[in-house]
Structure 1
Amino acid sequence: MRLLAALGILVSSLLTGSTPALAFYNCTEPTAPSCASRYGSFDDEWEFDRCKREMKNYQSDVETFIACNNSANEQSISDYSDAVKKFNRRAGN
């Protein structure tokens, strides 16, 4: 019974993304630049260009974050699959 509970916790943590594998990847969600959400139009071209550069950097950071999480998720699934195979081998299945 405890084994089933432990496996349930593992599956739950895989689904919520709170696994040690994610800690290894250290995927940090980027924050949108504040210039994007200010009220009113841009004061001048310099301010517009600066904010546009910040938005491009933000886009790159988001893409990196997504790729990092995908890699971490794939690793977590692989780790889980390996653990299940080892468990089944030990259980004689």
Structure 2
Amino acid sequence: MNLSIRALVTGFIFLPGISYASCYKPDAPSCVYGYSRFDDQNEFDSCKRGMVSYKFGIEEFLSCLRREADEATTDYNNAVTKFNSRASQ
């Protein structure tokens, strides 16, 4: 029992690093970090397009993290099942 709890805790400690490693987190467009208003409509429109692209990138990043978390959970549950099977023999 103690081994199972230790494995679970270890898995949760390393899981975020593993998941994040294969999912690409986009950076916000640099235009959002300006201190003054946009110079003109063209600059505003360009930055707005960058924000829309950033939104889609973040949505894909979150989707990737969810997929990887689901896969890790499945892997963990399979390992627990195999462990329990061996332990009950």
Q: Is the CA contact (8 Å cut-off) linking 1:29 and 1:65 kept in structure 2?
A: yes
Provide the residue aligned with 1:17 in structure 2: 16
Q: Is the CA contact (8 Å cut-off) linking 1:14 and 1:76 kept in structure 2?
A: no
Unaligned runs of 5+ in 1: none
Report the Cα offset of residue 61 of structure 1: 0.3
Alpha-carbon deviations, 1:32-64, whole Å to 9, x = none?
111011110000111001000000000000000
Q: TM-score, normalised to structure 1's length?
A: 0.80
Identity between Structure 1 and Structure 2 (%): 38
Q: TM-score, normalised to structure 2's length?
A: 0.83
Unaligned runs of 5+ in 2: none
Amino acid at match of 2:11: S
Q: How many residues align?
A: 88
